[in-house]
Amino acid sequence: QVQLVESGGGLVKPGGSLRLSCAASKFIFGDYYMTWIRQAPGTGLEWVSSISDSGNTIYYADSVKGRFTISRDNAKSSLYLQMNSLRAEDTAVYYCARNHGGGGLCPELWGLGTLVTVSS
Amino acid sequence: SYVLPQPPSVTVAPGQTARITCGGDNIGRESVHWYQQRPGQAPALVIYYDSDRPSGIPERFSGSSSGNTATLTISRVEAGDEADYYCQVWDSNSDHVIFGGGTKLTVL
């Protein structure tokens, strides 16, 4: 069925790097804006980054700008998040989401998430 | 930056109506989306563009937005509706996605 599956999470030391992936299936990946959202333990949702269908337009939350890089490979139906200079406060479940085709950004289809833990 | 205040919690008895609000400066001018997150699960979209329902979402879920308040209304509340609910907008001034802080709905 239509789904998103995240991978690449794990335990990393402060200052380290990690690359998350999101594999899309059963829809035309290249037709949609995509978004990463995270949720720290016991807290609410925090938007991280979004990328246009072509990859030409990218948005970042202030908290990750300059440290994280979003990218996509439409031929592989995959979304990525390169995370550098990781901090303890980046510890969270990271969700990949497909955005609704209408105006603005509305994450309509979510993956199950992958856990990133930043700790020494 | 744009802030979307939500009440931390709402409690309702089964069969009653729950109303969850989302504040914001002139939020009535924005498109508001609502997500349900059951314990241990990923969020799921329940209302988009203020009042539209994705396929598979019961008609008991409805949304409205005007002035400085958007509202998610859940009629005939069931035990399975117990979850955290988040509102969300796209802030075109900052090019940021904004989430409300979330409201925990408890069904007594």
Q: Could you report how far apart the first and last alpha carbons of chain B are, in Å?
A: 36
Confidence of residue A61 (pLDDT cuts 50, 70, 90): very high
Token digits for B1? 């930056």
Q: CA–CA separation, B102 vs B34, rounded Å?
A: 10
Give which of B102, B101, B93, B103 is closest to B30, Cα–Cα.
B93
Average pLDDT for A29-34: 96
CB contact under 8 A, B97 and A111: no
Is some CB atom of chain A closer than 8 A to the CB atom of B49? yes
The fraction of chain B above a pLDDT of 90, given in percent, is 89
Supply the pLDDT for residue A41: 96
Q: CA–CA separation, B106 vs B108, rounded Å?
A: 6
Pick from B37, B45, B97: CB nearest A105 = B97
Q: How near does any CA of chain A get to the CA of B67, in Å?
A: 19
Pick from B30, B89, B99: CB nearest A44 = B99
Supply the pLDDT for residue A102: 72
Average pLDDT for B9-20: 98
- Given a cut of 80, whether residue A76 has pLDDT beyond it is yes
Token digits for B23? 């504040």
A-B CB pairs within 8 A amount to: 67
Average pLDDT for B58-69: 96
